[in-house]
Amino acid sequence: MATAARRDEQELIAALQSSDSAVAAAACAELVQTYSPRIYRMALKLMGTPEEAEEVLQETFISACQHIGQFAGRSALGTWLYRIGTNVGLMRLRRRRPEAISIDAPMETDDREVLPQQLVEWRWQPEEIVLSQELRQALDQAVAQLPETLRAAFILRDIEGLSTVETAEALGISVTATKVRLHRARLQLRESLSRYFAATEGTHGRA
């Protein structure tokens, strides 16, 4: 099945890179239909609003179809699209808040751990967060509060389900730097959710 899927992807790439404009246009439409749901989902988590996610989605596929000739096939097509979409989103976020660039700039080279300020016992399981709308909202809010580069790494690896290597390829950084970003993102989320759980348990206890 994986071989067949890979062959189909190669056929799509060949069509996208075709000198026949009609073939390339049809392939671009297929590219959008196939990959837009996951790129939109990533963009929505990264940007925070449907309007901005739509803009990222549109810009991603315009860029992909225009520059498909530069795609060398060293990564999967989906990973390449995630990279374009992530870059588009991060650039938009940085234009929105220019100061965000300097806040996270040392991320790739500084591998010191940033320990959370507060930790309570971690009793909740991931499936509980998925099943509970309230917890799901708390997680979404915590993700939205992450610095942009940490947020992108967490979304690609832990929400979209890319491997660490694929996440590194999508972000255009080393695997080591990706692991550092993921570690920091998870620590910050753990701290945020720990505060939420502590407050929730306190409320339930008073009840």
More confident residue, 44 or 135: 44
Residue-wise pLDDT for 17-39, tens only, equals 999 999 999 999 999 999 999 99
pLDDT of residue 112: 43
Average pLDDT over residues 113-131: 46
Confidence of residue 120 (pLDDT cuts 50, 70, 90): very low
For the chain, domain boundaries: 1-96, 106-207
pLDDT digits (tens, 9 = 90+) for 162-185: 999 999 999 999 999 999 999 999
Highest CATH level, class, for 1-96 = mainly alpha
Task: Give the span between the Cα atoms of 32 and 68, in whole angstroms.
Answer: 13
What pLDDT band is residue 198 in, cutting at 50, 70 and 90? confident
Provide φ and ψ at 124, rounded to 5°. Answer: -90, 140
Ramachandran quadrant class, 48 (left: phi over 0; alpha: psi -120 to 50; beta: rest): left
pLDDT band at 106 (very low <50, low <70, confident <90, very high): very low
pLDDT above 70 covers a percentage of the chain that reads 75
pLDDT of residue 156 exceeding 90 = yes
For residues 82-90, average pLDDT: 96
* SS3 state at 104: coil
- For residue 123, the model assigns a pLDDT of 46
Look up the pTM and report it. Answer: 0.77
Please provide the CATH number assigned to the domain covering 106-207. Answer: 1.10.10.10
Q: From 125, 59, 134, 135, select the one nearest 92 (Cα to Cα).
A: 59
Q: How far is CA 131 from the centre of its chain?
A: 21
- Residue, of 143 and 193, whose pLDDT is higher: 143
Six token digits for residue 64? 């992909």
| Rounded Cα distance, 135 and 128, in Å | 8
Q: Which of 12-21, 31-40, 95-104, 189-198 has the lowest mean pLDDT?
A: 95-104
